Amino acid sequence: MLVLGFGAALYFPQTRPVVLDLLNPLLRPVFVWQTKAEMDKIVRELGTMDREGLRLPQPGQEFQMWMERNFQGGSLLDSWGSPYTLTLRIDSLALLSPGPDMVVGTPDDIVRTVEIQRRALR
């Protein structure tokens, strides 16, 4: 009965924000888990490309295009609707989600890294 009540409340646009605010404490851990799982999958694919000697996509537009080509069935955005950001370092790459607050550089950012070989950065 409770589920039906929440479903009905979500159906009406004027009650949707109130219901989502009430559900936020329950949904946040699920969203964090889902985002981390997606990021792990993306980082695994990039690590495989590096091990096979393939060129890694460059951060920015090239990375977004790579995401569109390789993850059509999955989400191109994190659970809060922000795009993932790629950073290449000398010996690793980092994939970043701004997290629930959708602001980069705050404590709730989610980061996944993988070591890469230097040749991948040429």
What does the DSSP assignment read for the chain? Answer: -HHHHHHHHHHSTTTHHHHHHHHHHHHHHHHHHHHHHHHHHHHHHHHHHHHTTPPPPPTTHHHHHHHHHH-SSS-SB-TTSPBPEEEE-SSEEEEEE-TTTT-TTSTT-EEEEEE--GGGG-
Q: Do residues 85 and 95 make contact, with C-beta atoms less than 8 angstroms apart?
A: yes
pLDDT at res. 120: 42
Q: What is the pTM of this model?
A: 0.77
pLDDT in tens, the chain (122 residues): 555 555 655 566 666 566 656 666 777 888 899 999 999 999 999 999 999 999 999 999 999 999 999 987 767 899 989 999 999 988 999 999 999 999 999 999 999 999 998 554 44
